[in-house]
Amino acid sequence: MSHHLFSPVALGKLPLVNRIAIAPMCEYSAEDGNATDWHMIHLGHLALSGAGLLTVEATAVEPGGRITPADVGLWNDDNEQALGRVVQAIRRYSPIKLGLQLAHAGRKASSQAPWKGGQQLPVAEGGWICDAPSAIPHGKDEVPPHALDKDGLARIRQAFADSARRAARLGFDTVQVHSAHGYLLHQFLSPLSNQRTDEYGGSLENRLRFPLEVFDAVRAAFPADKAVGVRVSASDWVEGGWDVAQTLVYAQALKQHGLDYIDVSSGGLSTAQKIPLSPGYQVPFAEEIKRQTGLPTMAVGLITEPRHADEIIASGQADVVSLARGILYDPRWPWHAAAELGHNVQAPPQYWRSQPRELKDLFADASFGGR
């Protein structure tokens, strides 16, 4: 019997019953930033999966920070009320820990949904001029973004803090600051997208400055007894871009600023990236960051098989495995992993009769189901 993947863990101030997390996955199904019935269905069924943590998709801190016009947001009272309805339903029926990813898309904002091609949305068709560290577009045929001035930086810092306060009111167990996948904070980190000549550009110390200011604003706004994490792209996968050595400096600085855990991904900044995809291809990044910093670390990226996930935990490469597309394809992945690894998993009593006869001890009493 393996107990690695299903052993409890603490990500700083965030206790989890097992090492399985559900990654934030954009659904592009909101209305004016408001979560809809789709989010109730989508997040509701994932909340019954038996995972230890469910993180809500990249949630824009201001309208201009949305990847698409249909992104979830948390910048006003209507957004808060709509998302609160979803949170309340999950809390009634599931003990899963809930996280929220706070995000600003920067120059990758104002885009079509992926199933509509994902291209930049023109202003005439409902798009907008994006904000970024420098007036460098993501794609060569895109409209250049607006380079943020001091007032713009202050506005966005405040927006992150305000959204963190709203997340606290909604009762989220953790918030995660999104500084990965080529979005705004990653754009400040990478020399490929940040060519400023002020104190926010040039040297590594300067490029770290705004992401650290945003983290500090979020940390100050979110309850001190709750965890704040950060998602990073450990590499741009482009020569001369952001890399793991710089990520380690960033991670150490975040640790000094009170970071509870780090979620390690990669890529997303440049259309020139060349990523050698294979199962667990990003795990070495997580392992290196965990080894060098001692931070609680989450690993992501083509981790689909239970034994592979268990080996990542058993070998100490990461503290938590985070699932995305794999758990969309198999929303009961934790159940099936528990069956394969000889463990049990939390499940709602309404579903207990579903366990196969030969797995009569698969489901643990989670003491929930309509309280």
Contact 244, 285 (CB under 8 A): yes
Taken in order of first residue, the domains within the chain and their CATH numbers are 9-365 (3.20.20.70)
Q: Count other C-beta atoms under 10 Å from residue 41's C-beta.
A: 12
**How many Å apart are CA 134 and CA 8, to the nearest integer?**
43
Residue 365 confidence (pLDDT): 63
281 as an active site residue: the answer is: no
Residue 369 confidence (pLDDT): 46
Residue 358 confidence (pLDDT): 87
Closest CA to 137 of 270, 279, 295: 270
Contacts of 316 (CB under 8 A, 6+ apart): 287, 290
Low-confidence ranges of the chain (pLDDT < 50): 369-371
Q: Which of 28, 183, 200, 261 is catalytic?
A: 183
Q: Which residues pair with 232 in a beta bridge?
A: 179, 264
Residue 366 confidence (pLDDT): 53
DSSP helix, strand, coil percent of the chain (3-state; round to 5): 40, 15, 45
Residue 357 confidence (pLDDT): 85
